[in-house]
Structure 1
Amino acid sequence: MMQTLPIRLDLFAFLIFLGVAQGVFLGIFFLTGQRRKSLANRCFGLYLLSVSAIMLEIGLEYSNYMFQMLALVDYGELFNFALAPLFYFFVYAKLNSRLPRHWGWHLLPAAIWSVNAITWIVQPPEFKYNSYINAFHPELPFVHVEPYMHDDFTGLRDYINELTLLSCLIYTVLALLEVRKAFKRANLPLLGKAPVSMVMARNVSALVILFPVLIGVVKATYHEDMGDHFLAAYLTLTIYATSLLVMQRSSALQEKEIIVDESPSASVEPKKKYEKSALSEELEETLLLKLNRLMEAEKPYLESDLSLPKLAQRLNTTPHHLSQILNDRLAQSFFDLLASYRVREAQQLLQDPTTTHLKIEEIAERVGYNSPSAFHTAFKRLTNLTPAQYRAKVVEQKA
């Protein structure tokens, strides 16, 4: 006879079910409306729904609701090998606006495992009862049952925890390497200011990085699946942290910021930040990547007569769109962008032994400034040092 236990609703159960609800909501959010046009959003939406499905099974098992829903026992294993690749796809697509080459091969283990899962999902209730109590309540007696079929044709189910850990570890590392590569390609500090797409990929990867470690600790500490509620609770925290990241980057939830054009010809009247964009998110991300590559490869900022229209023409876009993206995505004006690149170039010249003979005015001219005073002002604002003080500091450090 199959025994049951009373429902357990404690803090962990509450956190898990709360995470499931938020994960489903956020997954649907990314898969609907204009957001679904973004490849990265579709990957992330599917990832969140997969996470929620696994968390729901853990919540039902931990709370003992599973005694009343034996048909759902072990259904979460269908998603074990889809979870990590989907996350990697999200990060890759967010940074590159496409999936990795031969992406379908990454999902092959998930497809094989889904077929294998049929052998333990399509089983009598008594079989599922035994599976459940073996994982969560080993103190209860098993019941006799004749399975409909052999429950594991691959012979790998006994190693599911180790294989899941390996999958999560591999794809988390691949995601982190992709983030590092993107920041290096854009010549940006990993922990500094960057385009929104890069910040989102970096921050979400940072949230997920501890998950494989936690899997290893929990599985080494607890019998079978008895510690899975810790994993589900951590996933809840990552889902809500992701929700905060989404809210922070949503222009609909931000106050309209006032941006002042610093150009000499600008009006004294401030202008409001652009309220709507004619560009899709993917086009914006593509334009930002093109901008980073152009600035690094051709260094147009060294031209003293570079203007917003000229830079927009090189990027095959309009000055309006370029200015809007700089303001909304990088929180910079066109002149802030020029100053950051020019000052960085000046720092390299001030450090280079082959250019120590150059006067400060000559360096200012080399990096695109016609006015030495404008160069001094920009350099001091960005480094808190004058060019002469910066050069003296470099000499002192080398001495």
Structure 2
Amino acid sequence: MIYSFMTQQRYNTSLIIFFDFILYSDTQNYWVSDSHILFIESVRKAFAKSTLCARLSGETAPNGLQIPNDITVQPLPFYTDLLQLLIKKPLLFWKIKKRFEQVIGKTDILWLCWPHPVSFMLILIYGRTHFIFLSVRENIEDVIREKYPFYNKFFGILLVKLMNVVLRLFFPKLTIFCTGSEMYQRYRPYFEHVYQIKSPLISNQPIEVKTELDQNSITKLLFVGRLERVKGLSYLIEAMSIVNATDSHIHLDIVGTGTEIKHLTQLIEKYKLNDSVTLHGYVPYGEALFDFYRYTDLFILPALTEGFPKVIDEARAFNLPIIATLSGGIGNELSHGENVWIIEKKSAESIADAILTLKNDQELAQRISRPTETIQPDYYSDKIISIVQSAFQSDS
């Protein structure tokens, strides 16, 4: 391979980034609603230049996170989801390939999300000539199992397995960063360079934590994240109906947006929870989101599958008692009854029991919310930079 020289402080080359974000735009700026862009931004600063490639929506930009002007944006043709891309619009692959050809130089480094068919295409094209590293953020097979009907589910899981087999056979030396222990343990036996990371809370300003909540009769419960089926929110809404029958002084705030918003609204109406559950929509990372964490009593994540969710670290930063399922890397970092209260997946009864248990046992709630060792915001981005630098130099 032919690569340009790279210094210890900064890569004298360009970073081409592909994550399956949805871009929104006006005439001058681009936005995304996924706060993972903050982690990407912290890594890309080590490079002389960076280009973000992502599908561009024609919809009006939400109140999201603006892409910094010093990041070049290469919009890709839009597809609603992978099923549409693979089955209904396969010709988009050719257009997407052409868009990448416009921005990828001979010495550029590629940072790709995995597993993804666009990333697979890029690895087949550039895997022998360019340095590529991958990010695995979640168990995509579990996501497919929960999201799609039977035939599409079968096709999707088969495709993921096929892509991983090809990667193992022909590209075993790729550098792979896995969010959480589950994916790390899955990829580690087959690849030479696999590392476990998190994309933790990233803030350039100190976070002010409210040490005492105002005394009132309402216990506030908080969920933050994408409103998707894999987040287990339908079970959370059902749990609130169980809780409400016992204790009507508990309120759930749901922060985020996604494909499940209509279904969740219907469930709230079905269980007559309009006074007990509030859908706030998307709230960008920053003080407005921090206020939700500051003024809540319990944080809950009833997810069916995860990597290691960034919101867990956010809740820990605000010293909140956490209720969560044992998914992804959560069980490797948190212990039931010590710094988290573990609930069963797909169980409204388990969720309701956990909420009432922690509400009625303040000593227990305080114990599992005690401050834990804090990881510096840039720790994992610095780790990625250091590992990529070493791998890049040994490969050149």
TM-score by length of 1: 0.24
Bigger Rg over Cα:
1
Q: Higher helix proportion, which one?
A: 1
TM-score by length of 2: 0.24
